Amino acid sequence: MNKKAKSTLFSIAEHLKLSVSTVSRALNGQSEKYRISKKTTERILKTAAEFNYRPNQLARGLRMRRTHTIGVIIPDITNPFFSEIVRSIENAARKDGVSILISDSNDQTDLERSAVQTFTSRTIDGLIISPIGDESDHISELNQSSVPIVLIDRSFDSLCLPFIGSDNLNGSKEATRHLISYGHRNIGFLQGLQRSSVNKDRVKGYIEALEEAGIQPNHTLIVGDSFGEESGYISTKLLLNSKKDITAIFAASNPIALGAIKAIHEEHLSIPDDVSIVAFDDQSYCNYFSPPLTSVAQQTRDIGSLAYSFLAESVAGITTDAPKNIKLPTKLIVRNSVKNIAYQLNKST
């Protein structure tokens, strides 16, 4: 009550004329184990409350090599896809009393690397990361120092680490098929960061769907280099001005789609009459667009909570041999941003 000063085990022990160890044990619920008298235990608990005692987690972490803190590194917290994942991770972590150190890598390898190092020096119990994808040394190094890692959204071919994300290949395929079934053959693909696994899979799905339909993929229709709005805007401008007779656009992310729409408007083209559009990742606002945006929904919340569960298991030392490589199915949400032009389709194969 009148104690404003920081209270430690020592201050409590001193006050009670007990030893630090006894206080520590009682406060850690080990009274039974150490047969500390009920009376003593209660006195300790009481004064601890009075003193408003909070264990110093730095000291505890130093001693226990366990901080109840995990690191989360994502490429863009501004993208609702990731912020939702962060939220679900935190909701899960909170129940375990685990805090979250966060870092936005902005898809820059050097930032990612330094985030990993900073977190490491702060002793995290585990790491959830959506890696850029080009370099893996800093990650494998962390892994070798036996800090559990879970990959989300993007995986690593080289590293064998638990992964949880979407089935990008099939999600992309389905969306492309949708476009094709509506008569589109010249489909521009607005890709994201090229070296990321998500992007590779999405491009692959797009190409496979095309081939499957007997359409020869045109690699000059695949443009872009980042998942951000900028890239979508620029790529679309490029595509639209290159006389490729694009009838549809597939955006590899939601921000990309935003940029694309901006560009389309600027070119005084209309969606879907002049150009159709589909986006990977669905957000609640997609429904209110003009026209409502057809998109590929991901199970965002599950990605976050599963990632945390996996990590928590590893941290706890539980090693299930269950394959920790989960690709959650996606779902195509058909709205009105794709025009059916099948009637004007002339066979070309």
Partner DNA sequence: TTGTAGGCGTTATCAC
Partner DNA sequence: GTGATAACGCCTACAA
Residues near a copy of itself (CB under 8 A): 4, 6, 54-59, 61-62, 67, 69, 77-78, 80, 83-84, 86-87, 90-91, 94, 97, 99-104, 111, 114, 117-123, 144-145, 229, 258, 261-262, 265, 283-285, 287-292
Cis status of the peptide bond prior to 292, with omega within 30 of 0: no
Sign of CA dihedral 246, 250, 253, 257: positive
Q: Residue 80 binds which one of a copy of itself, DNA, none, with CB within 5 to 8 A depending on kind?
A: a copy of itself
Q: Is the dihedral of CA 14, 19, 21, 27 positive or negative?
A: negative
Residue 302 sits at φ, ψ, to 5 deg, of -65, -35
CA-angle at 81, arms to 79 and 85, nearest 5°: 120
Structure tokens at 35: 């047969």
Does 17 help bind DNA (rule: CB under 7 A)? yes
Q: Judging by beta carbons within 10 Å of its beta carbon (0-12, 13-18, 19+), is residue 45 exposed, middle or buried?
A: middle
90 binds, among DNA, a copy of itself, none (CB under 5 to 8 A by kind): a copy of itself
Nearer to DNA, 317 or 323 (CB): 317
For a copy of itself, give the closer residue by CB, 37 or 117: 117
40 or 120: CB nearest a copy of itself: 120
69 binds, among a copy of itself, DNA, none (CB under 5 to 8 A by kind): a copy of itself
- Residues ≥6 apart with Cβ < 8 Å to 119: 71, 73, 101, 103, 127
Residues 92-131 that bind DNA (CB under 7 A): none
Whether residue 283 contacts residue 289, with contact meaning beta carbons closer than 8 Å, is answered with no
The amino acid that residue 98 corresponds to is V
What is the rounded distance in angstroms from the CA atom of residue 154 to the CA atom of residue 120?
Answer: 21
- Which of 15, 40, 50, 327 is in the footprint of DNA by CB under 7 A? 40
Residue 316 binds to DNA (criterion: CB under 7 A): no
Residue 79 C-beta: closest distance to a copy of itself, Å? 8
* Cα-based torsion angle of the residue sequence 170, 171, 175, 178 in order, rounded to the nearest 10 degrees: 50
- Residue 297, burial from CB neighbour count under 10 angstroms (0-12, 13-18, 19+): middle
Q: Residue 48 Cβ, how far from DNA at the closest point, in Å?
A: 10
Binding partner at 8 among a copy of itself, DNA, none, C-beta below 5 to 8 Å by kind:
DNA
Closer CB to DNA, residue 64 or residue 322?
A: 64
Give 9 or 223: the residue with its C-beta nearer to DNA: 9
- What 8-state DSSP symbol labels residue 251? E
CB of 57 to a copy of itself, least distance (A): 5
Residue 35 site contact among DNA, a copy of itself, none (CB < 5 to 8 Å, cut-off depends on kind): DNA
Q: Does 85 bind DNA (CB under 7 A)?
A: no
3, 21, 241, 290: which one contacts DNA (CB under 7 A)? 21
Binding site for DNA (CB under 7 A): 6, 8-10, 17-22, 24-25, 27-28, 34-37, 40-41, 53-56, 59-60, 62-64
